[in-house]
Chain A
Amino acid sequence: MTSASEGTAGKSPRRISVDLKTLGPALALLLLCIIGFLLNPAFVSEGNLTNLLTRSAFIGIIAVGATFVITAGGIDLSVGSMAAAIAGVMIIVMDNAVETLGTGVPTVLLGCGVAIILGIGAGWINGVLTTKGKIEAFIVTLGTMGIYRSLVTYFADGGTLSLNFEVRGTYRPVYYDSFLGLPFPVWVFIAVAICGWLLLNRTAFGRYCTAIGSNEAVAKYSAINVDRIKTLTYIIQGLCVAFATIIYVPRLGSASASTGVLWELEAIAAVIIGGTVLKGGYGRIGGTILGALILTTIGNILNFTDMISNYLNGTMQGLIIIVAVFLQRSDWKLGKNKKS
């Protein structure tokens, strides 16, 4: 929505500050890349860049879904646990299908199908509990977060679920192979991002999400089926988690209680760094993608340098989140001061 209205921009000074706001995450990413290059020129090697993009795909895909949920005024804390649970069930299903379907593509397709159904189902549960059950999204997804996490621990009996070795061979290319020089996960990321952008910015559904997050009562009085749209945002989130899991499983070929830990926070952080407003009503898919890239880049840079311990990755990410939101806010104030 924003990008198009900026196309028809007037000459008022406000417009420029809005532009700055959109550009902020992009500038931050550029700055990070320059720092990375200065610290170690190998940072911009092709190998490292594709690795970086592949790594950001998981969080990025999930964050695209989170953008919808947050734009419509909700929040989903369960995505990390959901990814772990889906990965666990996928592995169990595929392992059990080996006897009937063999170790080839059909088994992998079955696993992917199961993942998608589970993602949609889990999202639907979150959505229905929030809308029909009239429980706050924070509480609902805090609950399902605990449930999904414990389920995967239970399935793995406290240990690790491993994918059948042969199936792993069949499935492996989904993570490790490339198409036109870009790894498959990056293509999935790009596809999800484009679909997400179109959905949020070009369709009635996207407009409804924004309207609901902006003011639910107005949405209701404007003939919008608020419950259905909100539930759909959680289903989209679930679907995105399923996609992320599908490309994540072949990476390690296993799932355990520590799979996807803190992904929900990284996804939400990516959304917020990207300029989406946490209380809803204003969403940016482009920003979210930049946010996901920024988070991964920080970790990547730390791997390249000895100046800061890699263990401080979380600290750096946390600082970036706070600084990003602070900058967005002070930018806003600046615009106001100029006026008066």
Chain B
Amino acid sequence: MHAETSAPAAIIEAVNISKSFGPVPVLFSVSMDVRPGEVHALIGENGAGKSTLMKILSGFHDPTSGQIRLDGKLASLPPNGAAEKLGVVLIHQELNLAEQLTVEENVFLGREMKKNGFLDRAAMRAIVQKHLDEIGLDILPTDRISSLTIAQKQMVEIVKAVSRNARILIMDEPTAVLTEEETQVFYRQVEKLKRSGVGIVFVSHKLNEVKAIADRVTILRDGQWIDTRPSRDLTPDMMAQMMVGRELSDLYPPMQEADVDAELVLEVDSLCTHDVDNVSFSLRKGEILGFSGLIGAGRTAVFEAICGLAPIESGTIRLFGRDVGPMTVAEARDVGLAYLTKDRKEKGLLLNKKMRPNLTLFALPKFVKNLAIDRKAEEDALKRAIRRFDVRALDPEITVGKLSGGNQQKLLLAKIMECDPRIVVIDEPTRGIDVGTKQQIYHFIAALAAEGVSVVVISSEMPEIIGICHRVIVMREGHITGVLTGDHINENEIMRYAAGLKREELH
């Protein structure tokens, strides 16, 4: 490592770490160090080995070769999170809190304070309250985790780590599920932690964010260490190039003009559900329609209702010119309407199953011949899908949970496309995936539209909405607040509608 001489000594240092899972190598002699009071971003495409490196740094995995040094001394980190005692805390992407316990109980879980053999709740509560006040988090120590928002839960994780005197905080995509506002709160928290001397490692796919808050950046590609540099020497474009190893000039495909006279394939009129209030819009053949808005604006709820995943209270839906009543998911699929969930781990894929049953699950009736599943057809479909969507799995018999996020997303896309939908709703098409895969997915969406498939893209990432959509509908609190086309599709306009600063009179 080319450490600057003036820099303070590293708290934790990974030296020439290699790691193989069985015969499969995933890290090749990677080195990285974290100093007190710095934010060290770890970036790379999905499958580059970031998660593995983080798990090795926090003791969840043992390196196959190489050393971990803690305060300059060779250390062997205890497994399963016990490294917390040494001040090294990993905050998982899927947060690790007991949902039914309170904030206080979670923070002190496993090291409860006792007085005379009984829990000293008052003391614990006071300490938790003090930490919450420091963060400026407006929740009570007695609140149940299940009643908190994701952002609040994340803050509780941080409080938990801080209260355990964490010196190294390792975070896996902490901002992936946060709104813009919550992200700002998170940044402020990171600043405070830095000032108190905590070293922070974080993984992010948002390169602007990396540029904004990281002091140093380590780039991995295909398990190899590419570079570690101060972030002031890097631009987001440079980072993207180093991650991918090639020019990324065209992240978004060239926009093909939408045919404004194309037939209407979906017309929704005055749709009302529990979370949706009087929503009307239409979709044309071959159009890419964006749905923007803040998290919780009701975008997902609209399409879950249309696709039969949630009950409809009132309103009419016309599909391909015919009135349809409430449909089941299977009926929607059979007329050519498919919804791809944003929650690929909980609602999208069976993580403990292999790729083949996952791929064909949605369109399974298509694979039934003489009452039995046609395995040959399934195998062929898998081969086709792997080619068409460039799903990269080292071993085709691997369970899907072991695939990287980007490959999971491609497999999920393949699963939905297996039924050849004419309208496909893609909810957060690129959540938590790397820039190379993002590019592939954008091009795929554009190609679909060019073939005459209508695509609805629900996304909280404004650049992608702006980059690929012909028309953008903005929602806020269950209503549609604006419809943007052409040059009006820009961040400023979208934000004003999304935040409720501007509102179009519809109808």
Give me the interface of A with B, judged by CB distance under 8 Å: 1, 4-5, 8-10, 12-15, 198, 202-204, 207-208, 210-211, 214-215, 217-225, 281-282, 338-340
Contacts and interface: CB of A to CB of B under 8 A. Distances in A.
Describe A's contact surface by its main secondary structure. helix
Interface string B319-349: 0000000001110110000010101001111
Contacts, number: 88
A217 B61 contact: no
B397 A214 contact: no
B347 A221 contact: yes
B346 A340 contact: no
Contacts of A8: 397
B364 interface: yes
Contact of A211 (B23, B329, B361, B375): B361
A203 B372 CA distance: 4
B349 A339 contact: no
Interface residues of B, number: 37
A203 B353 contact: no
A203 B371 contact: yes
Given A5-B397, A221-B339, A340-B61, A12 B22 contact: yes
B22 A221 contact: no
Given A5-B354, A211-B361, A221-B341, 15 more contacts: A4-B375, A13-B22, A207-B364, A214-B350, A217-B346, A221-B339, A222-B361, A223-B328, A223-B332, A223-B333, A224-B329, A282-B352, A338-B22, A339-B21, A340-B61
6 contacts: A15-B397, A198-B372, A204-B365, A218-B361, A220-B329, A339-B21
Interface of B: 21-23, 61-62, 309, 328-330, 332-333, 339, 341, 343, 346-354, 357, 361-362, 364-365, 367-368, 371-373, 375, 395, 397, 415
Instruction: Kindly list the 5 A-B residue pairs having the minimum CB-CB distance in the complex, ordered from nearest.
Output: A223-B329, A223-B330, A202-B372, A222-B361, A217-B347
Contacts of B395: 10, 12
Nearest to B354: A5
Contacts of A203: 368, 371-373
Nearest to B340: A221
A184 B198 CA distance: 74
A208 B365 CA distance: 11
A225 B328 contact: yes
Contacts of B351: 215
Contacts of A204: 364-365, 367-368, 373
A218 to B, nearest CB: 5
Contacts of A5: 354, 397
Contacts of B329: 220-224
Given A10-B397, A12-B23, A220-B329, A207 B341 contact: no
A116 B340 CA distance: 42
A108 to B, nearest CB: 31
Contacts of B415: 222
B372 A220 contact: no
Contacts of A281: 350, 352
